[in-house]
Structure 1
Amino acid sequence: MTILYLTLAILTFQQVPQQYDGRKGNTVVDIPRIESKISVDGVLDETEWQSAVVLSGFSQYQPVDGRPASDSTEVLVFYSPNAMYFGIRAFERHGDVVRATRANRDNIASEDNIQILLDTYGDARSAYVFSVNPLGVQADGTRSDRSGGGAGGRSATGGGTSSINFLDGNVDLNPDFEFQSQGQLTDDGYVVEVRIPFKSLRYQEGPDQHWGIHILRRVQHSGFQDSWAPVVRASASFLGQAGSITGLSDLDRGLVLDIIPSATARLDGSANDGGDWEYDSGGRLSGDVRWGVTEELTLSGTINPDFSQVEADVGQVVLNERFALFFPEKRPFFLDGIELLETPSQLIYTRRIIAPEAGVKLGGKVGALNAAAIVAVEDNQYSSSGDDNPVFAIARLRGNATEDITVGAVLTTREDVSDYSRLAGADIRMNHHGKYFLELQAVQSWTEVDGSAVSGPLFEATWDRTGRSWGFNYSVEGVAPDFRAAAGFVNRTGTVDARASNRLTAYGAEGAVFETYGAFGTVARTWNYDDISAGPIEGRESLSPSATLRGGWSLRGSFGREFYGFDPNDYADYTILTAPEDTSTFVIPGKEDNQYGGSLSVTSPTFQYFTATGRIGIEDTPVFREASGGSSLSLSATIDLRPTNALRTTFQVTRFQLNRDLDDSRFSTETIPRLKIEYQITPAIFIRFIGQYASRERAPLLDRNGNSILVDGEVDTGNTSNNISADWLFSYRPTPGTLLYLGYGTLLEDAGQQRFRSV
């Protein structure tokens, strides 16, 4: 009998998997290798899962770090020669509150989800993100701890600018990686099975691998985010607090070769002077090729890259803007490996390559350096001669000098026969004392157009403290008047900007109504680059309180004072019509001082069927086109409806109205409603409609005395317009890595505000 008991005890012990409890600090994981391949069906019933290690002991990360997670989570992990497997058991003890729908890819932010972050180089600088909702719907991308902007999108991290909720780093969901997932709801939560093939990853060369790993769980009904590795807010690096994976060896990526052909047709129509419609049609073939040269390097090529997913940019308020607006990159060729192109300033912005005919890109790891290079040939319509093809060349290098110091370099050029725009720069980021980082950047540009050559520098310095209860972000940036970045997004030159932000955060007791609350204050000044001694030309002081309430409600406010000056160069072609045949010089006034304003925004929790957010802003706002005073009212609202598992509707509207101080007359109005409807017919078939209407009206220009303004000798008569766009998309994804898009887009333009009769 004793022998029998002993035998049973040994068998039972052998079946108990190795546990790695995050709260106990057991975050160095030696994962087992299993040679067999299993099916991904959302049911963890294969015998291979009995040999997997288990990651458990999650703790809360948001809204309050350091507390044990309210609901338990277990993540089973093992790997095979060509893939890593994750089996997720997410327990929910609060009843039927799990949020999950058959959403489209990358559209699960408002649902319960699990995020798997893999830092395949183990350098705590960037990581792959693989996220799944309870039904296995996927989102993926990359995450960086940097505070700069990527080539296609913008980001910001830090202690002084993030107010209450610590920002989740620079997360870019534009890249798509091949991986498999399947999930299901259960009586006590949900279960998801995930397979990540090594062919989707770039990683270190060599037989043995050491990776960083984070597992995060988002619980929508409570607004909590849990982490397996015990993460604290008081740190300059989120990825630096990751757990680690050991035991990976002899990985097999196989052949990494993707071929993506596409075809685009267009039909343009417009009314001629006689009122008859005339049409112009055309089409083109395009394609991308992607080859994994090594485990660390990927070579890509493209011909006529296009927006393979037909979707218009989200409308923005434009009538009172002084500078160019930012729109994110969408073309797959440029999105792949876009995290390698990040710089502290937006020195690389691939949408500057407006219509490339062909391009080649190399990205990945070269020795100790992260490297990316792009060469693209642009359509001749964007050449100064109209006959030649401009050439863009972009290179970005970044590497770790030490564990806490990262150095980088950037080179870009646009060559157009004898015209050129080139820049070279270097940057360094130093993490110190756990909570702080210092980032420095110096850049020089050289530009020649039509035989006229100019050059100028750009410099930037940022010091940041990301503490739990208080933090700061201090920065200064100078951009010379003659600085040019033909391959970047630097929308204002000739200024020096300084900003100081300080943050205070408090935390409520467990179960309190206010889970976090606090505020950050900011003081900012802008000087003329060539005449700093003359004093600031713009500035603001603001206080921005915010709070996170129990259940997931979020409140944010801001109020402050600003002042503005008017640049004489913007009004060089202005004169005043004082009588039918008489004009006078346009006099540029002094600063618009003591411009007060405030805003308030409210975001609801993620309820079962909807999420909503709204914002109102009332401010003193200069009318920059007239160099006069004004006041503005801005309204925006978004509601995300999920009536069924397969159907999602998002409606958003933006309204901006600007009145003159002169007589309280209306200078401009902009109204932009946007409707998106998505329907997941089957897990493989998806359809989407996006409709947007942009109504804009601007009154004729008047000076401060009510006289008409002439621009280049012509009386400005104002303008009105409305544009209607409608985009349809059919998506078929029969297997991971195989995707068919069929899209149709239309844009109708009319010169009359809110008028459709002639459209």
Structure 2
Amino acid sequence: MHLQALLILVLSLVFSQFATAGTAHNFGLKIPTLTSTATIDGKFDESVWQQAALTHLRYETRPAENQPVPVKTEIRMYATETSLFVAFKAFDPNVSNIRANLSDRDNAWSDDLVGIKLDTFNQSKLAYQFFINPLGIQNDSIENELTGQESDAWDGIWYSAGQITHDGYQVEIELPLRILSFDDSLSQQHWGIELIRFYPREERQRFSTHKIDRDNTCQLCQLGVLSGLRGAKQGQGVQITPALVVTHNRQRELPQNQGWNNETNIEPGADIRWSLTPSTLLNATINPDFSQVEADAGQLDVNSTFALFFPEKRSFFLDNKDYFDTQINLLHTRNIVAPDYGVKLTGKVGDHTFAGLVAQDTTTNFLIPGNLSSDIAKIDETSQNLATRYRADFGRSLSLGALFTAKSSQNQYHNYLASFDGKYQLTDQDTFKVQAAFSDTEYPEDLYQDFCNGDCKPPTETCSLLQLSAGECLYNERVLRTKDKGAFRDHLYRIKYNHNSRNYYAFTQFESIGEDFRADLGFIERVDFKKFVAGGGYIAYPDHAWVSKIKTGGDWDISHNQAGELLEQEVEAFIEFTGTQMQSFLAMGAVNRERVGRRIDPSSLAIDSNTTRFDETQFWIYGELSPLQTLNLELDVSYGDDIDFSNNQLGTKFVVNPEIDWKITPSISLNFTHVYRHLDVDEGRLFTANLSDLRLNWQFDKHQFLRISSVYTHIDRNTALYSKPTFTNKQHLGNELLYGYKLNPQSVFYLGYSDGLKRDDRINTLTRNEQTLFMKVSYAWII
């Protein structure tokens, strides 16, 4: 009996924390359900708004801590059975200071904004966010409590309009309920809610309907409650989007100049988005267009041993992407390169979230990871790709989940992965996370030849110095991670603890990834290592000072391979200042690390007696400010020791990375990023690298734009200082001209031109080797 009573007491203490996210104690708003709909024009001239519920933004939550707001904001809300209507009246004593620009969707985050955050299940796991600038430009995103991230990749079809007035600005929005997941079997809804205004002046101030406790790490646990929406229905929720893509591409090999190879493609396709239930979504695509309309941001690939990461931009994969997320990136859908078809099912039933994805890819791409390098592998075969995810939420304190992925082709290749994860919120300040994963993989027998130009020598235990100097041992880590494998299995696990209070934070993490672990549908670029890290710091909020926030901290970490050999040991410290003038921010820090260079004998994966240990000390500084209402400047500088991986020696690096974001007019904007980097060794300057990324955008109105982009890369090497032959000069220039008309995120018309130019030791000047003309048209039919 005593044991039973003790068990009941323990369970009651644990489950006492299992509460819903929003509470009326934070903020409560009850809205009426009406029959009239407002015209979304930003004018507020319909009588229906007089019947709507009225509330105000009362607190500045950042940078001030729950202080009265300096300006007034009124919000009116009501619902019909199919839509939620919201009207914001944002007062401003100095209308000329309002920041409002015409821009593409999800590109107005630096403007004045008003918005709404909705947790439609009120369980503090996911929240929709809708923000609008004074001209009606839309920004939407999803906040994920599990990962702690906000993703603006999600795009819903909703309606907004705004206008600047003599005393501020006003915005109207309509959110069709079909774009939200919720339980429409309820007679009345109770959603988590926060209404927000961003007021960017000398500081970027954040206003809210209620107070935000900085001593509570869970933001979604602090929402208020929106009640009402009686009879709310999602409707059939069927969206059919046919599309047509036409491209004409021509390429030529340089420097042979053997003429252009021309290719024209006409690709019809269709996407289907069907809400099977108000909380279950089916996505399907046939012959999908996964072409990227906007070029990836430029990245320098110099003196780097690991593969570059590029984010997902394709709409089919992004819809409800958060349902697949775990604490580790085990599903990165850009590994599905050119699928013939795709089917995805995502949904939520009570405390249970589920997701499934199936796609057939015309090729097979995956990452070959190591502990000192990684690379991309490609098999010219069709691959089948599968991902499933399940998560159970026991209130706001405990979440348990599982993920399974599979990737396979016919040529003796497969990768199967099973992962299990959990998150427990011990207190408002303390969080414990754990994840474990297991993989089973098989590579084709000849895959390793792709990493040594098909000229790998027969396997030997070691390579002699004479063989290395003669270039006879064409081995590298990618070869050894793929050679003579057969089927193999291994594991990953991570344990992490975080403490975050108003003024103090601390964390510790241990991670172990086996040498044969693979996540071919994810982005795990490093295996065969164990890492322990611990750190923490202090946060201060000065009153009436030149800074509103000071954050300082540091960490120590150490990494070994699975054999216990030291890979890296590092200690780092930093300090950050958030200024009270010109939206300024300044951070600086220093790091000292001991780490290994490349392997001396590339035919062996050993670390001890096979690598050189280097001691690096580096310093960095980062700053940003807005000296003008229309101009934002950023600068990132780093200096110190850096390993020259090509020649296995220590050098001195210097990196300067400025960025300019200039609103030339309310409709014309320019973004320019440049990276300058050089590395000096004892004998002189080893290389100088420059990357320039220029984007010029002319937004004619809310729907139309013209965009010009250019990405230029120039790497200049001193070949006399390299131990192996390499290019002296390497340049590349990519350009794109794009006209776009967006009725909504899925109903679009694009017409564009792009080309590529290159130069190296064999080509005297930048010479065009690729040109593409393309057109895309699609239209979303909503039933």
Structure-1 residue corresponding to 2:704: 685
Q: Bigger CA drift: 473-482 or 245-254?
A: 245-254
Structure-2 residue corresponding to 1:580: none
Asked if the contact 2:184–2:233 (Cα under 8 Å) also holds between the matched residues in 1, the reply is no
Report SS of the residue matched to 1:723: strand
Letter in structure 2 aligned against 1:520: G
Following superposition, the deviation at residue 381 of structure 1 comes to 6.8
Structure-1 residue corresponding to 2:550: 517
Asked if the contact 1:255–1:292 (Cα under 8 Å) also holds between the matched residues in 2, the reply is yes
- Aligned Cα root-mean-square deviation (Å): 2.5
Select 1:743's aligned residue among 724, 748, 752.
752
Structure-1 residue corresponding to 2:527: 493
Following superposition, the deviation at residue 269 of structure 1 comes to 1.7
Rounded to whole Å, the distance in 1 between the matches of 2:324 and 2:23 is: 36
Structure-2 residue corresponding to 1:320: 303
Asked if the contact 1:411–1:423 (Cα under 8 Å) also holds between the matched residues in 2, the reply is yes
Asked if the contact 2:620–2:638 (Cα under 8 Å) also holds between the matched residues in 1, the reply is yes
How is 1:446-595 mapped onto 2 (pairs within 5 angstroms)? Answer: 446-450=440-444, 452-509=486-543, 511-531=544-564, 534=565, 536-551=566-581, 552-566=583-597, 568=599, 571-572=602-603, 588-593=610-615, 595=616
- Per-residue CA deviations over 1:689-711 (Å, capped at 9, x if unaligned) read 11111112344486xxxxx63xx
Report SS of the residue matched to 1:566: strand
Structure-2 residue corresponding to 1:127: 127
Asked if the contact 1:678–1:689 (Cα under 8 Å) also holds between the matched residues in 2, the reply is yes
Rounded to whole Å, the distance in 2 between the matches of 1:607 and 1:228 is: 29
- Per-residue CA deviations over 1:114-151 (Å, capped at 9, x if unaligned) read 2311111111111111110111100112111223xxxx
How is 1:183-222 mapped onto 2 (pairs within 5 angstroms)? Answer: 183-207=162-186, 208-221=188-201, 222=203
Report SS of the residue matched to 1:96: helix
Rounded to whole Å, the distance in 2 between the matches of 1:570 and 1:313 is: 36
Letter in structure 1 aligned against 2:546: V
Matched, 1:298 2:281: yes
Report SS of the residue matched to 2:229: strand
Report SS of the residue matched to 2:526: coil
Following superposition, the deviation at residue 736 of structure 1 comes to 7.5
Structure-1 residue corresponding to 2:359: 376
- Per-residue CA deviations over 1:147-199 (Å, capped at 9, x if unaligned) read 3xxxxxxxxxxxxxxxxxxxxx4111112111111111122221111110001
Structure-2 residue corresponding to 1:396: 389
Letter in structure 2 aligned against 1:408: G
Structure-1 residue corresponding to 2:51: 51
Rounded to whole Å, the distance in 2 between the matches of 1:182 and 1:454 is: 57
Select 1:280's aligned residue among 243, 262, 265.
262
Rounded to whole Å, the distance in 1 between the matches of 2:347 and 2:762 is: 49
Describe the shift of the 1:434–1:387 C-alpha distance in structure 2 as closer, same or farther (beyond 3 A).
closer
Following superposition, the deviation at residue 512 of structure 1 comes to 2.4
Structure-2 residue corresponding to 1:10: none
Structure-2 residue corresponding to 1:583: none
Following superposition, the deviation at residue 42 of structure 1 comes to 0.6
Asked if the contact 1:24–1:57 (Cα under 8 Å) also holds between the matched residues in 2, the reply is no
Rounded to whole Å, the distance in 2 between the matches of 1:438 and 1:268 is: 54
Asked if the contact 1:23–1:229 (Cα under 8 Å) also holds between the matched residues in 2, the reply is no
Rounded to whole Å, the distance in 2 between the matches of 1:234 and 1:262 is: 52
Report SS of the residue matched to 1:351: helix
Structure-1 residue corresponding to 2:211: 230
Letter in structure 1 aligned against 2:440: W
Describe the shift of the 1:277–1:737 C-alpha distance in structure 2 as closer, same or farther (beyond 3 A).
closer
Structure-1 residue corresponding to 2:332: 349
Structure-1 residue corresponding to 2:398: 405
Which structure 2 segments of 5+ residues have no match? 1-21, 367-376, 446-485, 769-783
Rounded to whole Å, the distance in 1 between the matches of 2:108 and 2:359 is: 34
Describe the shift of the 1:360–1:589 C-alpha distance in structure 2 as closer, same or farther (beyond 3 A).
closer
Structure-2 residue corresponding to 1:176: 155
Structure-1 residue corresponding to 2:618: 597
Describe the shift of the 1:512–1:189 C-alpha distance in structure 2 as closer, same or farther (beyond 3 A).
farther
Letter in structure 2 aligned against 1:239: L
Report SS of the residue matched to 2:300: coil
Report SS of the residue matched to 2:49: helix
Report SS of the residue matched to 1:202: coil
Asked if the contact 2:242–2:271 (Cα under 8 Å) also holds between the matched residues in 1, the reply is yes
Following superposition, the deviation at residue 746 of structure 1 comes to 2.0
Following superposition, the deviation at residue 62 of structure 1 comes to 1.9
Asked if the contact 1:220–1:605 (Cα under 8 Å) also holds between the matched residues in 2, the reply is no
Asked if the contact 1:731–1:739 (Cα under 8 Å) also holds between the matched residues in 2, the reply is yes
Letter in structure 2 aligned against 1:85: F
Describe the shift of the 1:734–1:440 C-alpha distance in structure 2 as closer, same or farther (beyond 3 A).
closer
Report SS of the residue matched to 1:240: helix
Asked if the contact 1:63–1:548 (Cα under 8 Å) also holds between the matched residues in 2, the reply is no
Describe the shift of the 1:188–1:355 C-alpha distance in structure 2 as closer, same or farther (beyond 3 A).
same
Structure-2 residue corresponding to 1:5: none
Rounded to whole Å, the distance in 2 between the matches of 1:146 and 1:698 is: 45
Report SS of the residue matched to 1:629: strand
Following superposition, the deviation at residue 477 of structure 1 comes to 1.1
Describe the shift of the 1:569–1:394 C-alpha distance in structure 2 as closer, same or farther (beyond 3 A).
farther
Matched, 1:643 2:664: yes
Rounded to whole Å, the distance in 2 between the matches of 1:315 and 1:126 is: 31
Report SS of the residue matched to 1:49: helix
Select 2:435's aligned residue among 441, 447, 461.
441
Which structure 1 segments of 5+ residues have no match? 1-21, 148-168, 575-585, 703-707, 710-714
Asked if the contact 1:23–1:58 (Cα under 8 Å) also holds between the matched residues in 2, the reply is no
Letter in structure 1 aligned against 2:418: A
Report SS of the residue matched to 2:50: helix
Following superposition, the deviation at residue 657 of structure 1 comes to 1.2
Rounded to whole Å, the distance in 1 between the matches of 2:113 and 2:93 is: 16
Letter in structure 2 aligned against 1:392: N
Asked if the contact 2:23–2:223 (Cα under 8 Å) also holds between the matched residues in 1, the reply is no
Describe the shift of the 1:495–1:274 C-alpha distance in structure 2 as closer, same or farther (beyond 3 A).
closer
Rounded to whole Å, the distance in 2 between the matches of 1:528 and 1:270 is: 44
Asked if the contact 1:179–1:736 (Cα under 8 Å) also holds between the matched residues in 2, the reply is no
Rounded to whole Å, the distance in 2 between the matches of 1:463 and 1:739 is: 45
The two structures have a TM-score, normalised by structure 2, of 0.84
Rounded to whole Å, the distance in 2 between the matches of 1:342 and 1:278 is: 44
Asked if the contact 1:129–1:140 (Cα under 8 Å) also holds between the matched residues in 2, the reply is yes
Structure-2 residue corresponding to 1:617: 638
Following superposition, the deviation at residue 334 of structure 1 comes to 0.6
Rounded to whole Å, the distance in 2 between the matches of 1:732 and 1:359 is: 26
Report SS of the residue matched to 2:649: coil
Following superposition, the deviation at residue 666 of structure 1 comes to 2.3
Select 2:313's aligned residue among 330, 340, 348.
330
Letter in structure 2 aligned against 1:56: H
